[in-house]
Amino acid sequence: MRKWASFPLKEGEVSRQAHADFPDRAIYEREVGRSGFFGPATHFHHTHAPTGWSDWEGPLKPRLYNFNNIAGNQNVSPWQVPTLLHNAHCKMRTWRLTESMDYLVRNADGDELLFVHEGAAELFCDYGHLTLRDGDYVVIPRSTMWRLEVTEPLFLLMIEATNDSFQLPEKGLVGNHAIFDAAMIDTPKIDEAFKAQYSEQQSRVQVKRHDQVSQITYPYNPLDAIGWHGDLAVMRINWRDIRPLMSHRYHLPPSAHTTFVAQRFVVCTFVPRPIESDPGALKVPFYHNNDDYDEVLFYHAGDFFSRDNIERGMVTFHPAGFTHGPHPKAFAAGREYKKKFTDEVAVMLDTRDALYVGDAALATENPDYVNSWKIKPASV
């Protein structure tokens, strides 16, 4: 048995509430926390922005990639697209598809999460048929057979839970129906579209195991189930179905927006919401050292209010080990309460283990991103 040492202390000039009512002489709050946003934490009150560096050398730094420009990810098997970010417990990839699949795939390495960034398709799998649109999350259990019939060109974000599964978060005090009700989750149907694809024609299944691909050939279409019962299935939820937790008086941590949980990482979704209105409340994401997690944000839609010069399809990667937070212009706008609502939609991957960057992602990096927090010297 073990537990964190717990001794809440106050030293010097402080606010009585995190993320609110900062001392006039120190408007920059920095949270230093462990175990994501669930462990012990301390809040420092600084007179200078914690991200106001003047120079940065070395490999550890905030990074920006443009996943719109990934090479080698179009109209190939999902098991052939390049891995962009990865560790032993998860993999992030993108996949562009303009042609329908004439084969089935199966991931024997773990659950697969598809996020439809662009496009639409018909999904056929062991469990039946689902129509997919932009903004859909689709959780595909390990070793499920599936294929896509493209109706609009697809741009998919793919996250693999290697040797793991995607589950829903505990919702604690807010109850099971908060954020999204489980009744909002859709599962495939054995409908007329599914029955229409029954076939005695030869079918191929590409199975990925240990990142190696094997092919199984059947003299018929193995998606031939006439029914099923149980509590394991492909499931779909759209970001538009998410009703975010919020407070007009307190900026909630990213963990309040958790959508899926695996053993060593979480997936969160930021969706449109009102911005905090209380005069003393922080109105942008707080500066923080999330020292046990690497943070990845995939920008899907809207105006990304805490970052400058970010476009949809871009990805920011902030490894553990340094403070990150809003850009200077965003922080100033928050202080002035210029925006009353944020319409951004983004997918966040937070991993307990360090992520490695693949060559295909590195080829799209903006090396000047680290300088975007530099504060311009005051003119004399």
Q: Which domains does the chain have, with CATH numbers?
A: 28-65+243-373 (2.60.120.10), 91-239 (2.60.120.10)
Above 60 in pLDDT, residue 379?
A: no
Dist CA 94 CA 347 (whole Å): 13
pLDDT tens digits for 38-88? Answer: 888 888 899 999 999 999 999 999 999 999 999 999 988 999 999 999 999
Higher confidence at residue 376 or residue 108? 108
pLDDT of residue 26: 83
pTM over 0.85: yes
208: phi then psi, degrees, rounded to nearest 5: -100, 125
pLDDT tens digits for 210-233? Answer: 999 999 999 999 999 999 999 999
pLDDT tens digits for 107-124? Answer: 999 999 999 999 999 999
Inter-CA distances, 75 with 85, 105, 124, 182, 208, Å: 20, 14, 18, 34, 17
Dist CA 236 CA 233 (whole Å): 10
DSSP 241-302: G-B----SS----GGGGEEEE-SSEEEEEE--EEPP-STTB--SPPEEEETT-EEEEEEEES
- Rg of the Cα atoms in the chain: 22
Contact 299/308 with Cβ under 8 angstroms?
A: no
pLDDT tens digits for 325-370? Answer: 888 888 887 888 878 888 999 999 999 999 999 999 999 999 999 9
Pairing of strands 110-125, 203-209: unpaired
pLDDT confidence bin for 128, thresholds 50/70/90: very high
Contact 114/161 with Cβ under 8 angstroms?
A: no
